[in-house]
């Protein structure tokens, strides 16, 4: 959608996998134009379950992280959104993201909640598309 290449790593000491997946999706979509299509490739089960949980929300609403679920619902409303499984094969964007996530998890254990930008040169070297 013509956006500049950007990325961030972050974490919370007590964040659940689902909460972190929701926050990551919100962070990735917050600056997109309202009609921009969203394509998510992830090796995370929590991320890949988001569309299924959204579809089931009418019959089985989430009981935790309601504020994040409301924001995700709003962020994806009226958009074309596709979620696809990816593997963490060496030298791929998903492996790069997994390495940053592991670093963020370790940092959150001692530093608490944080968010740090990933240098653009690192994103480009990892093959993360602009």
Indicate the average pLDDT of the chain. 81
76-93 per-position pLDDT tens digit: 988 899 999 988 777 777
7-33 per-position pLDDT tens digit: 676 777 777 888 888 988 888 888 888
**Interatomic CA distance for residues 84 and 25, integer angstroms:** 14
Q: What band does 52 get if pLDDT is binned at 50, 70 and 90?
A: very high
Q: Is the pLDDT of residue 2 over 60?
A: no
Supply 1's token pair: 């959608």
Supply 65's token pair: 């992280």
Q: What is the mean pLDDT of residues 67-73?
A: 92
90-120 per-position pLDDT tens digit: 777 777 777 877 877 777 777 777 777 777 7
Q: State residue 49's pLDDT score.
A: 92
Q: Is the pLDDT of residue 48 over 60?
A: yes
For residue 94, the number of C-alpha atoms closer than 13 Å in the C-beta half-sphere is: 12
Q: State residue 1's pLDDT score.
A: 46
Beta bridge partners of 41: 84
Question: What pTM, to 2 d.p., does this model score?
Answer: 0.72
């Amino acid at each position: 959608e013509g956006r500049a290449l950007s990325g961030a790593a972050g974490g919370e000491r007590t964040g659940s996998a689902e909460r972190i997946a929701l926050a990551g999706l919100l962070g990735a979509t917050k600056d997109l134009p309202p009609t921009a299509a969203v394509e998510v490739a992830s090796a995370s089960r929590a991320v890949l379950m988001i569309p299924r949980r959204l579809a089931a929300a009418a019959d089985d609403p989430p009981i935790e992280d309601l504020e994040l679920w409301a924001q995700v619902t709003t962020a994806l409303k009226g958009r074309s959104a596709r979620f696809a499984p990816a593997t963490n094969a060496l030298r791929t964007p998903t492996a790069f993201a997994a390495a940053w996530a592991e670093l963020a998890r370790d940092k959150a254990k001692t530093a608490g909640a944080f968010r740090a930008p990933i240098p653009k040169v690192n994103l480009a070297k990892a093959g993360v598309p602009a």
